[in-house]
Each structure stands twice: as C-alpha cells, then as structure tokens.
Structure 1
Amino acid sequence: MTRVRTIEEARRDLERRGKSIKQFAREIGVSERIVYGLLQGRFIGRRGQAHRAAVLLGIKDGVLE
C-alpha cells in the first residue's frame, strides 16, 4: 500500500511535473471542476469521477477498475 498524500503534496507534485490542474483533468478524463474541488478540500472523492481523480492524485487510497 502506498502512502496517501496530503492535498498540498498533490499540488506540489503537479507543479513539479509542470502540469496545470486543467491539463491533469483532461489527461485523466475528468471534469476540471472536480479536480479543483478535491485540491481545495471541498470534495472527498467517494464515487465516480471524484473517486478516480482523488486516487490518481494520490490523496485517497482506492482501487480503479
């Protein structure tokens, strides 16, 4: 099991990779609004696109099927 990142760590990782939130959202096929919501702490990422984005950002431990 990998360590779950904090929201700030996820933000820094995107910055380190030179990716905007919009670009990341487009690459993983989710709404930009959802990624912003996750990184602002407004969304938890329980289901659907929010779950997918949270797992790929590393801020949630989960399985993608």
Structure 2
Amino acid sequence: MKIEDFQKAKEDLMSSGISIASWAKANGFSSALVYQVLDGKRSCLRGESFKIAQKLGLIDMPDSSRRFVN
C-alpha cells in the first residue's frame, strides 16, 4: 500500500461528509486504530488493522480459492 492510498481514503471519507470517528463506530472499530491505519502507522497485515484496510478498500479481499504451494 502506498501513502497516496491512505490519503485518498481519508479524502474520500471527508468529501462524503463522514468523520473518521463516525465511520469507525459504524463499522465496529476503534477510532484510534482507524486513525493509525489512515496515518500509515500500522502495517495492516493481520488482525483489526487488516480488517479496517479491507473495509476502506485499501486491501483486496483474500481469494479463498488460492492456496500457498511449496
């Protein structure tokens, strides 16, 4: 993920008139964690940060049909 992606997600929320805190609350996330994700302070590789990034459209949904093969 690029910094521009985070900034675009932030701008999209703001331009739609939705505050980050209200988006977080409506989606069941901590507003502090959403701010950290949008500020690029979280890697978003797993857990809540990953779920937030998915919900914001920063990460594609995992393809459950693909498997890692050695």
TM-score (norm 2): 0.74
Contact preservation (8 Å) 1:31, 1:49: no
Q: CA deviation at 1:62?
A: 2.7
- What residue number does 2:67 align with? none
**Structure 1, unpaired ranges of 5+:** none
Deviation at 1:38, TM superposition (A): 0.7
Letter in 2 for 1:59: L
Tell me which structure has the larger Cα radius of gyration.
2
1:34-56 C-alpha deviation (Å, 9 max, x unpaired):
10001111012122211111011
Give the SS at the match of 2:42: coil
Higher helix share: 1
Aligned residues: 59
Aligned match of 2:40? 41
TM (norm. structure 1) is 0.79
Give the gaps of 5 or more residues in structure 2: 63-70
Q: Which runs of 4+ in 1 moved over 6 A?
A: none
1:17 maps to a residue whose letter is: S
Quick one: percent identity of the two aligned structures?
32
RMSD: 1.4
Higher relative contact order (CA 8 A, sep 6+): 1
